[in-house]
Amino acid sequence: MTEKVAITFQGKTFEFPLVEGTFGEKGIDISTLRSTTGLVTFDPGYMSTGSCTSDITFLDGEKGILLYRGIPIEQLADKSNFVETAYLLIHGELPTKDELSYFNHHVVHHSMLHEAIKNLYDGFPNNPHPMAVASAVVGSLATFYQNEISVRDEREIEITIHRLLAKLPTIAAYSYKKSIGQPLPYPDNALGYCGNFLKMMFSTPCEPYEVDPVAAKALDVLLILHADHEQNCSTSTVRLVGSSMSNLFASVSAGIYALWGPLHGGANQAVIEMLEAIHQDGGDIDKYVAKAKDANDPFRLMGFGHRVYKNFDPRSKIIKKLAHQVFEKVKVHDPLFEIALKLEDIATRDEYFLEKKLYPNVDFYSGLIYKALGFPVPMFPVLFAMGRLPGWIAQWKELQADKDFKIGRPRQIYTGKSTRDYVPLTDRG
Ligand code: ACO
């Protein structure tokens, strides 16, 4: 017999079915709760709410497991590359040789931006935050491809996916080039996804540029590690926007804005700013650990803690190893890396952090690697967005194909004023 959960309310008992996941995780299907009981659930921050079933990513926060389409993140970081991982997330299987070559060709082929898009960059004030630029320009792509933004036509969706994956690195690199007053370079499709991006970021027309394979590989691994993370804030945003049948450009543009905040994708920028502050303050790590533990101080250790991982974040282990490799290769001594290592060491032995299960998350070391590769701090969340793009696309596609597809529309418990009369301005005190 199928297991059910009973809720008793006003003397009546109502039964609700359970939904079970691949690894035995269970949820109560309360989709008929309101129609049968008149009740809604109340769950600020969605701490106990599953918004969908999904075949894309599995994570177990207690055991520190992360799987994309069933494959452990450690194996993908070690053996795959970002374009192949993007294919896996979006299509559900690892590609055959032919499928990969087709996908790779199209993702590379669409890398140029319409010349008119450059006018948008001229319209922004000096030094705009690249996340704002990335979101605005991604959203504007819908104006350039207005006839191909159907959410139901598979071919149009496929072209849009190729365009998004191909153009986001160009959009990102242009926002940086514009901010430093350098000419906007054209993509070099022969260099591969990360090589091309590095060249667009760091080359100038007056000097030869050679892609450093260590930098390209490190960037590729970082993109893989960020490629999906099930129903996080930005992904849920992409799904919610997509649930009104908004096109992929609009949904991804909204996802970029959701990712920008310091509690989400902006955390890697916040980590560097925190490490800088500790460094400027004489490197007194204990002082900052004490601040983070003080309930009356709003300061938090950036890059620590995670809504889901309550043991360790498997991505942070891979990133820490990568950070050591990159620092060895670039041979730059960064005092911030030393501070980060010490901070991790102290915090991971401290009772407060152990008790609250706060461990370094994906952002703790990623910013240090980006910095070592030469990326300016405001670009960090944009790099996160580049990585997360295949996840957003896969989740948006899965939503559109969901047999239970519905516009997302949560309920609320209204706690404002009761009904009252309008008071004319002349009668107000
Ligand atoms: N430093 C110090 N204390 C912390 C930290 C931290 N980084 N994170 C959580 N805590 C404390 C809280 O003060 C709270 O204490 P309390 O129980 O005494 O009130 C307790 O731990 C639980 O914290 P919540 O904020 O309730 O946990 P939640 O799951 O809602 O938040 C979050 C998770 C937002 C990631 C939080 O840990 C945080 O703010 N971390 C710093 C920002 C960060 O690194 N964000 C990146 C997350 S990863 C990503 O988005 C890719």
Taking all residues of the chain, what is their mean pLDDT, rounded to a whole number? 94
Mutate to test the pocket of ligand 1, among 274, 300, 312 (most ligand atoms within 8 A of CB): 300
Q: Residue 331: is its pLDDT beyond 80?
A: no
For the chain, how many helices (H) and strands (E)? 18, 6
Query: CA-based Rg of the chain, rounded to a whole angstrom?
Result: 23
DSSP letters, 36-66, are HHS-----GGGTT------SSEEEETTTTEE
Answer yes or no: is the C-beta of 271 below 6 A from any ligand 1 atom.
Answer: no
Nearest atom in ligand 1 to the alpha carbon of residue 304 is 7
Q: Residue 32: is its pLDDT beyond 70?
A: yes
Mean pLDDT (whole number) for 327-335: 83
Mean pLDDT (whole number) for 257-276: 91
Confidence of residue 1 (pLDDT cuts 50, 70, 90): low
At residue 265, the 3 state secondary structure works out as coil
Answer yes or no: is the C-beta of 264 below 6 A from any ligand 1 atom.
Answer: yes
pLDDT score at 29: 96
Mean pLDDT (whole number) for 268-285: 93
User: How many percent of the chain have pLDDT more than 90?
Assistant: 85
- Contact present, 387 and 223 (Cβ < 8 Å): yes
Tokens of 312: 């360790």
Residue count (the chain): 429
Q: Tell me whether residue 110 is one of the annotated catalytic residues.
A: no
- pLDDT tens-digit readout, 147-191: 777 888 999 999 999 999 999 999 999 999 988 989 999 999 999
Rounded to whole angstroms, what are the CA distances from 4 to 8, 15, 16, 19, 28?
13, 6, 5, 9, 8
Tell me which residue has its CA closest to atom 50 in ligand 1.
264
- Contact present, 264 and 258 (Cβ < 8 Å): yes
- Contact present, 241 and 250 (Cβ < 8 Å): yes
pLDDT score at 267: 85
- pLDDT tens-digit readout, 342-352: 999 998 899 99
Mean pLDDT (whole number) for 27-54: 96
Tokens of 289: 């650990």
Q: 50 CA to middle of ligand 1, Å? A: 20
Mutate to test the pocket of ligand 1, among 259, 288, 307 (most ligand atoms within 8 A of CB): 307
- pLDDT tens-digit readout, 191-230: 999 999 999 999 999 999 999 999 999 999 999 999 999 9
Tell me which residue has its CA closest to atom 19 in ligand 1.
295
Q: Within 13 Å, how many C-alpha atoms sit on residue 213's CB side?
A: 0
Q: 359 CA to middle of ligand 1, Å? A: 10
Confidence of residue 13 (pLDDT cuts 50, 70, 90): very high
pLDDT score at 329: 84
Q: Residue 307: is its pLDDT beyond 90?
A: no
Q: 287 CA to middle of ligand 1, Å? A: 19
Model-level pTM?
A: 0.92
Of 220, 228, 313, 363, catalytic: 363
Count of Cβ atoms closer than 10 Å to residue 16 Cβ: 18
pLDDT score at 333: 81
Nearest atom in ligand 1 to the alpha carbon of residue 308 is 29
Instruction: List, as own/partner pairs, every contact residues 77-81 make where C-beta atoms lie below 8 angstroms and the sequence separation is at least 24, other chains included.
Output: 77/221, 77/224, 77/225, 77/318, 80/224, 81/193, 81/220, 81/224
Q: Tell me whether residue 334 is one of the annotated catalytic residues.
A: no
> How far apart, in whole angstroms, are the C-alpha atoms of residue 255 and residue 78?
28
Tokens of 195: 């090589």
Answer yes or no: is the C-beta of 266 below 6 A from any ligand 1 atom.
Answer: no
Q: 356 CA to middle of ligand 1, Å? A: 9
> How far apart, in whole angstroms, are the C-alpha atoms of residue 222 and residue 333?
21
- pLDDT tens-digit readout, 413-426: 999 999 999 999 99
Of 306, 324, 334, 427, catalytic: 306
